[in-house]
Structures are given as C-alpha cells and as structure tokens.
C-alpha cells in the first residue's frame, strides 16, 4: 500500500481564475484518494470560495489586510506572506509543497528555504509572451528567479511542450515536467438565465477576462466586418476586465451595439456554451486556456490562434478546433468565422471531435500524473 502524503498547495485564490480552479480540482481528487491536502491562498479577498473543495482540505488565507496600494506597501505585503507561509510550512511539515504562478513560486521558494521541504514550482502562462509585455523590473525579477531559485527546486512543472522547451533553456539540466490542465465542463455555482438570447439566431461567444492579452477588440472588429453578411449572427462577451469600457465604446462607435451583448461576470456559463454557434478565443498568448477547453468539452465548434501555447495541444494541431495563423489575426479571424458559418458539416465535425478533450485530459488521467510526481519527490529533495 502506498503511503499517504501531506501536500501544501500555494495559489493566489480559490475565488476566481484558472490556476485556482486547477488547484481545487487536483487537490480535491488527491484528498479523495486519502492524501492530506492544505491550500494556502495568497491573494484571496474575504468571502467564500467560488471553487468548492473536498471537505477534508484545509484552507489557509494569508492575504495581507492592507487597503493601500503603493510600492512600499506591496513589498511589505510580500514579506508578510512569506513569513506566514513559512509558519504554515513549519506547522504542517508537509512531504511536498506545490506552488502555482511566478509570484507564489518566489514566495514559497523563499519561505521553504532551509526547512528540508521539496518544492515543485508551476508556471501557468506562456512566459516568453508574458515577459515581453512586462516591465523591465518584472523581467529582471524573473531572470533572477530562474537563475537563483528555480535550480534549487525539486522540479518545475508546465502545461505545454513549448513552455517546457523555453524553460529548459532558462534552467538547463533541471527536471521539468509537463502536466496539462484537467478538462471538465464549466463549473456550476448557482443558476442564471441566458440573457439577450433570441431563438433561431446564431451566436459567437467569448468567455474570459477583458484584458489586453485576450485581444477581444479584434473579435469585435471581425464581427463588425461580418455583420452585414450574417444578419442572423450576434456576439456575446462574457466576463469583466479593465478593457471593458473601451470595448463597449468600440462597439458603439461601430454601430453594432444592438447585436453585441456584454454580460459581465456570469456564475454559470453553461447555458452560453450550449447556445453558442462558435466559441472564439482571440488571445495573444495563453497557458492552457480553460475557457477553450470548457467550450470544446461541451462540443462547441471553436476557433483559436496558433500562439505556441495550449491552443495547439487542445486543438490537436487544428484537428478538433480551428487553429488560425497569427500573422494577420483580425483578417484571419473574420475569414475563419465565415468559413465555419458557411460550412455546417465542418462545424458538426469539429463539435464531435472537440469533445475528446474531456477524455484525453480527464481528472483521473491528469491527477494520476500529479500523484506520481508528488510521490517521486516527497521529501527526496531539500530546498
């Protein structure tokens, strides 16, 4: 009989985000298998989790309570979180610590130093593109972390082959594992009616944060260019973000506000997926995109870009989702949407093939990889 492990996860929050959802899924399955699981959240506001966890999981929120937002306060908050993490590690004395996202990898790495705890640090985004869009200070921080901290971890973990290849050059000779996301249907919490949906009309759907990375603006432009050709077509934009007001102004300027619907944050997105004709992910970069995987698991014909990230794995190089070149994204997107709308048989074929992602990236298969990784490194490597 295999021994029971004590595992501490470190993640920003269980109230939102793809990393939080994966920690909730993986941690809950490990707890169901009998392991002792603790989840430390470093940036979760007061209030309940959005993602439910197994009842045997212990959650510790170590977010600093300061309401101020300046550089000095943020530095103090980081020091506070490191101190609290170290106290938690000492008290729990786990076999293994698994941290998600660069900032938490840094916190957990410093906090675990000298405690004899193996750390697996997980990158969750396509870092070359992420760093290109970051400040020089952020790039310097990541360079130092990759040179000083990452080589001392038990292992690094990524979601895609391209990130593995890139990180292997940053931390040569180090053990880097590839474990994809679990793919499941969209999370349900509560029930909401589908708003603005009109029967017998077709719809394009985007689900995600409205931030620069997602390039929602090119989707709006592509839709605007097709609006006169496909008069029965609407566009639904589900989510919030700092670009939402600018995107709403863009829609009004193009005179398509009667056919573009901003829903805001939605607790249960499944009705939107069920009614969508096509799901579109126009992102400039991603890690392993949850919204795309959810759409595909529900059989929604999907369009994404070849952005050297999880879109290749999920689409199986374009076999189960349309994978567009990223050279002239707005033009390519409009043409891709038109191609699918003009070819119902192609849409039907994509719908059937897309659902295979739920089998390939099932909870059982992916968590088996996490469990094997945890057993391999538990207390076998000291930080």
Domains held by the chain: number: 2
Write the pLDDT tens digit of every residue in 117-156.
Answer: 999 999 988 787 778 778 888 888 888 888 999 999 999 9
What residue has token string 């349309």?
322
Distance CA(201)–CA(146), nearest Å, equals: 50
What residue has token string 């594992």?
177
**Mean pLDDT estimate for the chain:** 90
Q: Are residues 46 and 61 in the same domain?
A: yes
The two structure tokens encoding residue 68? 């101020």
Task: Give residue 198's pLDDT.
Answer: 73
Q: Are residues 90 and 167 in the same domain?
A: yes
Q: Are residues 366 and 311 in the same domain?
A: no
Distance CA(11)–CA(20), nearest Å, equals: 6
Is the pLDDT reported for residue 30 higher than 90? Answer: yes
Q: Enumerate residues 6+ apart whose C-beta is below 8 A from 99.
A: 9, 10, 11, 105, 107, 108, 109, 119, 120, 121, 122
Q: Are residues 327 and 246 in the same domain?
A: yes
The strand pair at 233-238 and 202-207 is best described as parallel
Weakest mean pLDDT among 40-44, 132-136, 268-272, 285-289 = 132-136
Range of the domain at 299: 202-360
Intra-chain end-to-end CA distance of the chain, in Å: 28
Q: Are residues 172 and 247 in the same domain?
A: no
**Backbone conformation region of residue 41, classed left if phi is above 0, alpha if psi is from -120 to 50, else beta:** beta
Residue 8: how many other CB atoms lie within 10 Å: 27
In a domain, 193, yes or no: no
In a domain, 84, yes or no: yes
Q: Are residues 294 and 305 in the same domain?
A: yes
Q: Are residues 30 and 58 in the same domain?
A: yes
**Cα 295 from chain centroid (whole Å):** 14
Weakest mean pLDDT among 45-59, 176-190, 303-317 = 176-190
Q: Which of 202, 192, 183, 141 is nearest to 367 (CA)?
A: 183
Weakest mean pLDDT among 8-12, 121-125, 277-281, 297-301 = 121-125
In a domain, 190, yes or no: no
Is the pLDDT reported for residue 285 higher than 60? Answer: yes
Q: What is the CATH number of the domain that holds 105?
A: 3.40.50.2000
Distance CA(94)–CA(85), nearest Å, equals: 12
Write the pLDDT tens digit of every residue in 186-240.
Answer: 755 555 556 667 778 999 999 999 999 999 999 999 999 999 999 999 999 999 9
Give the mean model confidence (pLDDT) for residues 274-297: 94
> Rounded to two decimals, what is the model's pTM?
0.88
Q: Are residues 166 and 243 in the same domain?
A: no
Q: Rg for the chain (alpha carbons), in Å? A: 21
Q: Are residues 74 and 158 in the same domain?
A: yes
Is the pLDDT reported for residue 5 higher than 80? Answer: yes
The two structure tokens encoding residue 295? 């759409």
Distance CA(367)–CA(182), nearest Å, equals: 8
The β-bridge partners of 239 are 264
In a domain, 275, yes or no: yes
Distance CA(175)–CA(153), nearest Å, equals: 9
The dihedrals phi and psi of 131, each to the nearest 5 degrees, come to -70, -35
């Amino acid at each position: 009989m295999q021994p029971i492990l004590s595992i501490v996860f470190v993640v920003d929050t269980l109230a939102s985000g793809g990393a939080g959802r994966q920690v909730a899924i993986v941690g809950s399955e490990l707890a169901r298998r009998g392991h002792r699981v603790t989840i430390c959240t470093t940036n979760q506001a007061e209030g309940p989790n959005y993602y439910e966890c197994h009842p045997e999981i212990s959650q510790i929120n170590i977010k600093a309570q300061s309401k101020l937002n300046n550089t000095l306060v943020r530095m103090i908050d980081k020091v506070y979180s490191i101190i609290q993490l170290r106290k938690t590690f000492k008290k729990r004395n786990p076999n293994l610590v698994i941290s998600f996202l660069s900032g938490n990898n840094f916190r957990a790495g410093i906090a675990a130093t000298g405690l004899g705890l193996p750390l697996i640090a997980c990158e969750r985004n396509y870092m070359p593109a992420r760093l290109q869009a970051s400040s020089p200070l952020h790039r310097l921080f990541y360079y130092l972390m990759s040179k000083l901290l990452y080589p001392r971890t038990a292992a690094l973990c990524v979601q895609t082959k391209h990130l593995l290849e890139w990180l292997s050059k940053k931390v040569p000779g180090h053990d880097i594992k590839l474990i994809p996301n679990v793919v499941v249907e969209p999370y349900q919490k509560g029930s909401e009616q589908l708003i603005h949906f009109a029967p017998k009309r077709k719809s394009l759907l985007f689900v995600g944060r409205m931030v620069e990375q997602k390039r929602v603006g090119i989707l709006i432009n592509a839709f605007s260019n097709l609006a006169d050709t496909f008069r029965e077509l609407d566009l639904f934009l589900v989510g919030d973000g700092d670009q939402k007001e600018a995107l709403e102004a863009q829609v009004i300027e193009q005179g398509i506000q009667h056919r573009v619907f901003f829903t805001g944050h939605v607790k249960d997105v499944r009705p939107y997926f069920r009614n969508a004709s096509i799901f579109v992910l126009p992102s400039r970069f991603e890690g392993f995109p949850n919204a795309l995987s959810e759409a595909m698991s529900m059989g929604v014909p999907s369009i994404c870009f070849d952005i050297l990230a999880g879109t290749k794995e999920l689409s199986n190089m374009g076999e189960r989702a349309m994978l567009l070149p990223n050279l002239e994204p707005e033009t390519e997107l409009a043409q891709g949407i038109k191609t699918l709308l003009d070819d119902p048989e192609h849409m039907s074929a994509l719908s059937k093939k897309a659902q295979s992602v739920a089998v390939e990236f099932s909870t059982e298969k992916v968590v088996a990889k996490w469990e094997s990784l945890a057993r391999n490194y538990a207390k076998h490597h000291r930080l």
